[in-house]
Homo-oligomer: A and B are copies of this chain.
């Protein structure tokens, strides 16, 4: 087992009430049976086409030779069958050939893909993202040319942002776009690095959604435009001809080895055409409209990878005999299973606590995203604000704590966890990129504290507090949950004190001081947020205890027990963080002397 259908259904239906979205005409098709059918279809695809190749594709890797890239042949099946299942255009409008699937359902479904084989899913979801930019902002002839080929999995989509000299600093992008006589057609020149799925031999063509600067455009972020740049140019008759997009190499990585990470050159060997998306100089605006999906997507990849690692560790702990119970005096007895050692159980509960709350938060955010699209009035506004403040958290906590959880899983296996005979080492390697993808933890933390906490004079923060408080109030009415509601309330009160302290520093106008410990604030805020998710789950499970029996009953008891674990072992980490965040001794600002040596 690499992911739990029972847990996904529980989160969808019991915790996040997925069916409630069907009240909106846009999502009217998504009743419970449809939802369950889609989830099952995704799981089946993951079971048959993805999971069996997880280890093999890692060993196979990516091969760059003479300007071409060869990947494991199974990737062709994965892309085609993913497309046939409708997953490329799943969330797109009916009018564009999509399924108008709620993000909530899409994330729940693709959780199985990521958990089964985290390095292949981007080949599908990048095409989703690229095609959405085309459908939303391009002229009809571009839509007609590109979208059917992308939805069918024949053409790969990418996001071509990063450049060697710019890295995370998109304002420093240099790739050039020179206008031609044809409106909307530009000549592109420059290079891009770290382009995921940037080239490979399992699709006929690759379509880059590329950021570049039109000749004479303003400096900085206000002069960046977005272009469609195909590897091969489609002619009216459907023939494809080279567009001078050269693959200069593939970056070797320690994980996600089946996922190409290319270095691309545009227009080095001749004219490379690019087609403007929307209006000039609005490239970053368009791209940032995709950012929330992309960040939820990385959080989902991280939690799904950590989920698969959890089940792999749990299986090992349930099968491996070693040592005796600590109270056992009789050493002649056979060894006990290692799941009976408290330290192993602690590590497993840590994994479970991290992955199940992370998945719940991802679902929370996906549903908020749906509501911020389809709801109206105050409900829409509140969904939007809550989503904005949670987005950096739902990217970062699953990524950072996901790595820690996988490391704990590896530790449970001991030496075996470090060796290729078991998958823990692969999850460990694969997951380490997640705190870097789509804005590093440092950048997410600046976003959380520097933008989201302060946005609209703290309105997003206010909605967050009200929402968490509502859960606390509900939990307070249950005798067994009240002590935990109390703990979360204390933490939430303290959070307000810490935030107020930091905003006081912000008012002094020194951004560097204000934001110097933003990453600590991120962890602090995240720990409280996951406490909220655990309390939400425990509420559902507490209510379900009396009406269930057998496995289902145990499932709910396991949830409540893990909530308690979280509050006893994880939430206390806020104490040290609050202590530090309330201090005003600045030790990480650059000074006159270089003290790092």
Q: Are A323 and B169 in contact (CB-based, < 8 A)?
A: yes
Q: Which B residues lie within 8 Å of A518 (CB)?
A: 343
Residue of B nearest to A586 (CB): B342
Q: Are B254 and A418 in contact (CB-based, < 8 A)?
A: yes
Q: Are B342 and A425 in contact (CB-based, < 8 A)?
A: no
Query: Contacting A253 at CB < 8 Å: which of B420, B512, B564?
Result: B420
Q: Which B residues lie within 8 Å of A255 (CB)?
A: 418
Residue of B nearest to A562 (CB): B595
A131 interfacial by beta-carbon distance below 8 Å: no
Q: Are B587 and A564 in contact (CB-based, < 8 A)?
A: yes
Q: Are B429 and A410 in contact (CB-based, < 8 A)?
A: no
Q: What are the interface flags for A564-597 relative to B under an 8 Å C-beta threshold, 1 for contact and 0 otherwise?
A: 1100110011111101100101011110011111
Q: Are A572 and B579 in contact (CB-based, < 8 A)?
A: yes
Q: Are A220 and B331 in contact (CB-based, < 8 A)?
A: yes
- Stretch from A14-22, A145-153, A530-538, A550-558 forming part of the interface with B: A550-558
Q: What are the interface flags for A310-328 relative to B under an 8 Å C-beta threshold, 1 for contact and 0 otherwise?
A: 0000100100111111110
Q: Are B589 and A253 in contact (CB-based, < 8 A)?
A: no
CA gap between A588 and B353 in the complex, in Å: 13
Q: Are A596 and B407 in contact (CB-based, < 8 A)?
A: no
Interface residues on A, range: 35 or more
A238-258, CB < 8 A from B: 251-255
Query: Contacting A418 at CB < 8 Å: which of B425, B432, B517, B557?
Result: B432
A515 interfacial by beta-carbon distance below 8 Å: yes
- Stretch from A116-124, A372-380, A438-446, A464-472 forming part of the interface with B: A438-446
A103-140, CB < 8 A from B: none
- Stretch from A43-51, A91-99, A333-341 forming part of the interface with B: A333-341
Q: Shortest distance in angstroms between A189's beta carbon and chain B's nearest beta carbon?
A: 22
A428 interfacial by beta-carbon distance below 8 Å: yes
A414 interfacial by beta-carbon distance below 8 Å: yes
Q: Shortest distance in angstroms between A86's beta carbon and chain B's nearest beta carbon?
A: 32
Q: Are B596 and A345 in contact (CB-based, < 8 A)?
A: yes
Q: Which B residues lie within 8 Å of A585 (CB)?
A: 564, 568
Q: What are the interface flags for A510-548 relative to B under an 8 Å C-beta threshold, 1 for contact and 0 otherwise?
A: 111001111110000000000000000000000000000
A460 interfacial by beta-carbon distance below 8 Å: no
Q: Are A349 and B588 in contact (CB-based, < 8 A)?
A: yes
Q: A407-B432, A415-B194, A519-B346 are in contact. Are A339 and B596 (CB under 8 A)?
A: yes
A409 interfacial by beta-carbon distance below 8 Å: no
Name the residue among A320, A325, A327, A332 with the largest chain B CB count within 10 angstroms: A327
A436 interfacial by beta-carbon distance below 8 Å: yes
A230 interfacial by beta-carbon distance below 8 Å: no
Q: Are B342 and A512 in contact (CB-based, < 8 A)?
A: yes
Q: Shortest distance in angstroms between A320's beta carbon and chain B's nearest beta carbon?
A: 8
Query: Contacting A511 at CB < 8 Å: which of B326, B331, B590?
Result: B326
Q: Are B419 and A435 in contact (CB-based, < 8 A)?
A: no
- Stretch from A160-168, A200-208, A270-278, A292-300 forming part of the interface with B: A160-168
A to B CB contacts below 8 Å, 17 in the list? A219-B331, A219-B332, A252-B420, A253-B418, A254-B429, A327-B511, A339-B590, A339-B594, A342-B588, A343-B588, A411-B436, A411-B441, A554-B593, A565-B587, A565-B588, A572-B580, A574-B576
Interface residues of A (CB under 8 A from B): 162, 165-169, 171-172, 194, 219-221, 251-255, 261, 314, 317, 320-327, 331-332, 335, 339-346, 348-349, 352, 403, 407, 410-411, 414-415, 417-421, 425, 428-429, 432-433, 435-436, 440-442, 445-446, 510-512, 515-520, 554-555, 557-558, 561-562, 564-565, 568-569, 572-577, 579-580, 583, 585, 587-590, 593-597
User: Top 8 closest A-B pairs, CB basis?
Assistant: A572-B576, A252-B420, A342-B516, A343-B442, A575-B575, A345-B588, A326-B511, A342-B588
